[in-house]
Amino acid sequence: MKFLENLPRFVFFTGKGGVGKTSVACATALTLARAGMHVLLVSTDPASNVGQVFGVTIGNNVTPIQEVPGLSALEIDPEQAAEAYRERIIAPVRGLLPETELASIAEGLSGSCTTEIASFDEFTNLLADDLAYAEYDHIVFDTAPTGHTIRLLQLPGSWTDFLETGKGDPSCLGPLSGLEKHKQVYAKALQALTDPARTRLVLVSRAQTSSLTEIERTYRELGEIGIGGGYVVLNGVLPPAAGEEELAQALRAREAAAVAAMPGSVAALPRDVLDLKPGNMVGIPALETLFAAAGAGMPPGAAADAEVEDAPLAALVNEVELDGHGLVMCMGKGGVGKTTVAAAIAVALAKRGHPVHLTTTDPAAHLTETLQGSTPGLKVSRIDPDAAIQEYRSHVMETKGRSLDDEGRAALAEDLMSPCTDEVAVFRQFSRVVQESRRHFVVIDTAPTGHTLLLLDATGSYHREISRQVGGTMGFVTPLMRLQDPAQTKVVLVTLAETTPVLEAEVLQDDLERAGIHPWAWVINNSIAAAHPQSPFLRARAASEIEQIAKVQTLTDRVALIPMLPEEPVGEDRLSALTALSTQPA
């Protein structure tokens, strides 16, 4: 593996959701530990599944992997990090300040911004605190999907700039007395990130156009803040062992075309290619095969029966249409096909004569590429964080700032430059879209799970604040109340028939249930079993799906199954075909 040669201390794996970053990061950490290194594997993904891959419980504390001497892991849990962060700020003044003031400080530290900053603090300490983590030869970072990761890696510079240029008092950072320490830590973290002798960036992708486009964008944006010298890993490439049946040939041709058209900046980087394996990358024995060629070690019973029952996406669309209007939210782990499913549902409803608004909250979404044109009756938009932030700042200055003097307006403008404003600004646009669903159909392609949960946290915080202010004096309806009402909102969880994506979606369903939001249906996308392959290799992949399909059927009353297709479902015609497909063989 080229990316393992002369490896510096810090290694970052990033890329579009669902490309196998966690598998590659875990296999890398395992390989280094087997070579006698002391390794810390860190997940910065709010929806981490490193623990699931190794079959152990990993949390916000460094946890040794008992089966692998020298390897420890850490999942930066946003809620645990936020709670510890609040305690660090409040503990020194507990007993010195009245309880009412302590409660006010805690309330100011309860939003999604604080959650982000708390996780970010843990991340920067790993880069900047050489003494605390001196025992590790390598620290391997399994990052969140690219949109969230770019935000995370940009934060050292964002906060450094904010603290250097302003008198800012961002409440999520706590008392001003600690800001000097923050500046030093953030500056040191930024130095580590931008030093190729200390940090290696590994861009993980599938041999797919959207994934390759995404790593090019990531490489370019990270290059703008001084992070460069990247390596490319093409993961899950169909091997010769998959045979020569029509599906295999079509998938190989699609992969070859995507790689041939790879953007020049990333095509020039050192590259490794990892074959698709017949089984799932869960457990140490499976991880040890990831860097080996496919074909050897075909699992027993590879050609076992892998037939599935018919479960067309059209059946879900028929039920959605009965309401005449409403909100459909497609959620799930990155890379499972939320954008495709959302677009297919929206196109189907529009072609049936309904006005539809299709939008996305995903910074890395590709709605335009997926649709490849316009459909009568379908409006397409994107909740752009940069545009939302600018609009929010202008709105606050024109309203709250109107009655202030010049000094007050300057202070307000400075406060609005805090990175804390981002989630608030995006939430405002999200709320507007939710309101539209009272009149017509709105289909939302959400960001990957962790980012979406932060958005829902902002929605819940807003609901609690409105409830506190209004009390029982008047009626009100918040966005959260609309999401909780099954007559107004249908949440569709999108997954793949693989262990980790199904576990991830199950955890998401539990999180939503705790927020009073009951998922309406699940969609299993890109199922090889539903495509009825013939070669032993592909039948082995199909057989590995059956258990996961059965598990999904125990978690929900509605399931749709979309087969793996020879051609990517892009453009109106192919998207329409998704809602006309049967999973039964002809």
What does the DSSP assignment read for 162-183?
HHHH-----GGG--GGGHHHHH
**pLDDT the model gives residue 500:** 76
**pLDDT the model gives residue 170:** 44
- Range among 39-43, 281-285, 495-499 with highest mean pLDDT value: 39-43
Confidence of residue 176 (pLDDT cuts 50, 70, 90): very low
Q: What are the pLDDT digits (tens) for 209-218?
A: 888 988 898 8
The one catalytic residue among 43, 45, 199, 213: 45
The predicted model gives 19-23 an average pLDDT of 88
The one catalytic residue among 124, 421, 446, 500: 500
- Range among 57-71, 160-174, 470-484 with highest mean pLDDT value: 57-71
The predicted model gives 274-278 an average pLDDT of 91
Q: Is residue 22 flagged as an active site residue?
A: yes
Residue 541, pLDDT > 70, answer yes
Residue 411, domain member (yes or no): no
Q: Distance between CA atoms of 136 and 132, rounded to whole angstroms?
A: 10
The predicted model gives 483-502 an average pLDDT of 87
Residue 466, domain member (yes or no): yes
What total number of domains does the chain contain? 2
* Average pLDDT across the chain, whole number: 79
**270, 287, 304 - which closes a domain:** 287
pLDDT over 70 for what percent of the chain?
76
Q: Distance between CA atoms of 570 and 366, rounded to whole angstroms?
A: 11
Confidence of residue 116 (pLDDT cuts 50, 70, 90): low
Q: Is residue 21 flagged as an active site residue?
A: yes
**pLDDT the model gives residue 551:** 94
Q: What is the CB neighbour count within 10 angstroms for residue 135?
A: 9
More confident residue, 459 or 122: 122
Run of H or E residues at 509: helix 499-514
Secondary structure (DSSP) of 431-457: HHHHHHTTTSEEEEEPPPHHHHHHHHH
Q: What is the CB neighbour count within 10 angstroms for residue 411?
A: 17
Residue 268, domain member (yes or no): no
Secondary structure (DSSP) of 338-354: HHHHHHHHHHHHHHTT-
CB 68 within 8 A of CB 33: yes
Residue 457, domain member (yes or no): yes
The one catalytic residue among 17, 18, 174, 230: 18
pLDDT over 90 for what percent of the chain?
31
145/9 same-domain check: yes
Q: Is residue 23 flagged as an active site residue?
A: yes
The one catalytic residue among 14, 15, 22, 111: 22
**pLDDT the model gives residue 463:** 46
Residue 208, domain member (yes or no): no
**287, 304, 330 - which closes a domain:** 287
**pLDDT the model gives residue 423:** 57
181/321 same-domain check: no
Residue 209, domain member (yes or no): no
The predicted model gives 173-198 an average pLDDT of 67
The predicted model gives 48-58 an average pLDDT of 82
In the block, tokens 């939001």 appear at 517
Secondary structure (DSSP) of 194-232: T-TTTEEEEEEE-SSHHHHHHHHHHHHHHHTTT----EE
Residue 154, pLDDT > 60, answer no
Q: Which two tokens stand for residue 85?
A: 């962060």
**pLDDT the model gives residue 353:** 94
Please tell me whether residue 134 adopts helix, strand or coil conformation: coil
Residue 397, domain member (yes or no): no
The predicted model gives 331-348 an average pLDDT of 88
Angle separating helix axes 99-108 and 78-90, nearest 10 degrees: 140
Residue 469, pLDDT > 50, answer no
Q: Which two tokens stand for residue 448?
A: 């990957």
For residue 169, the domain's CATH number is: 3.40.50.300
Q: What are the pLDDT digits (tens) for 236-252?
A: 999 998 889 988 999 99
Residue 426, pLDDT > 80, answer no
- What count of residues does the chain have? 586
Please tell me whether residue 317 adopts helix, strand or coil conformation: helix
The one catalytic residue among 14, 16, 17, 20: 20
**Listed range (95-109, 307-321, 406-420, 450-464) with the worst mean pLDDT:** 450-464
CB 155 within 8 A of CB 190: no
Residue 80's domain comprises: 2-198+280-287
Q: What are the pLDDT digits (tens) for 125-151?
A: 788 777 778 899 999 988 764 444 445
- Residue 5 one-letter amino acid: E
In the block, tokens 């539809």 appear at 356
**pLDDT the model gives residue 495:** 94
- Range among 61-75, 287-301, 448-462 with highest mean pLDDT value: 61-75
Q: Distance between CA atoms of 105 and 575, rounded to whole angstroms?
A: 50
Run of H or E residues at 43: strand 39-43
**pLDDT the model gives residue 38:** 96
The predicted model gives 521-540 an average pLDDT of 91
303 φ/ψ sector (left φ>0, alpha ψ -120 to 50, else beta) = alpha
**pLDDT the model gives residue 579:** 87
Nearest to 75 by CA among 510, 507, 494: 507
Q: Which two tokens stand for residue 422?
A: 């981002």
CA neighbours closer than 13 Å in the CB half-sphere of residue 290: 28
Residue 169, pLDDT > 50, answer no
Residue 430, pLDDT > 80, answer no
Q: Is residue 168 flagged as an active site residue?
A: no
The one catalytic residue among 15, 16, 17, 23: 23
Residue 154, domain member (yes or no): yes
**252, 287, 322 - which closes a domain:** 287
Any bridge partners for residue 45, and if so which? none
Run of H or E residues at 527: strand 521-527
